[in-house]
Amino acid sequence: MSNNSLTSRKFPGYILALSGPSGVGKSTVRRMLTSVCSEYVEDIAMVTTRDPKHGDDGEYIYVTQKEFERMTRKGIIVASTRIPSSNENRQYGYRGEDIEAVWNKGKTPVVITEVQLLEGLAHQYGRRSILSLGLLPPGESKRAKLSQLLHRLRSRGRETEEHMHDRLKNAEHDIDIFAERKDLFDDVVVNKDLMQLVALIRKKVLAFSKV
């Protein structure tokens, strides 16, 4: 099925998009959700130009910058973004064929996004197709939220101090986006209790899957 045929349809299907700052638990939530709801949802690997890192768990497809640009020009990548970094050119995107393959199985694709990826997916498939959930860490203030994120990033042991500085800088922007771009998000939830959050999202998935 081509991208043109999908975009010409009034409603191609749902995409469940999880957004939020680094360390908020997007990958963990997605992994748990696809485990307990495997009959209805399936995760989509993200294409990236960044180098593989310890702890990556099959969520990325690694390509060169040249290959990423080629796929973008040819329309293979339907939504993309560049994440600021002090020492690495990091681009990320999703291939339309991967999303369509999940739809063809009668399931809902689950993706991890930020504002540019959300905009790209909404432009490609229509805003109605995107069930967009923003994830926040617990905390009454932005400072408290950022402190929680820093603790989680350090606990993972996957990042250098330089990378964590980059991620926290980007996290401030990610937190502000939920208020600045309310049009892109259907709901914003706090990841205080992981099991409760997954149960809440599972309920939403079953509702729009008409089970």
Q: What is the pLDDT of residue 188?
A: 93
pLDDT of residue 2: 45
7 Cβ neighbours under 8 A, 6+ residues apart: 124, 125, 126
Cβ neighbors of 195 (< 8 A, separation 6 or more) are none
Q: What is the pLDDT of residue 132?
A: 95
Run of H or E residues at 7? helix 3-8
DSSP output for the chain: --HHHHHHSS----EEEEE--TTS-HHHHHHHHHHHTTTTEEE-PEEE-SPP-TT--S-EEE--HHHHHHHHHTT-EEEEEEE--SS--EEEEEEHHHHHHHHHTT-EEEEEE-HHHHHHHHHHH-GGGEEEEEEE-S-SSHHHHHHHHHHHHHHHT---HHHHHHHHHHHHHHHHHHHHTGGG-SEEEE-SSHHHHHHHHHHHHHHHTT-
- pLDDT confidence of residue 86: 60
pTM of the model: 0.85
Was domain 3-204 assigned CATH 3.10.20.30? no
Q: What are the structural domain ranges in the chain? A: 3-204
Helix (H) or strand (E) holding 199: helix 194-208
Return d(Cα 136, Cα 134) in angstroms, integer. 7
Are 5 and 120 a contacting pair, CB within 8 Å? Answer: no
In the chain, which residues have pLDDT < 50?
1-2, 4-8, 211
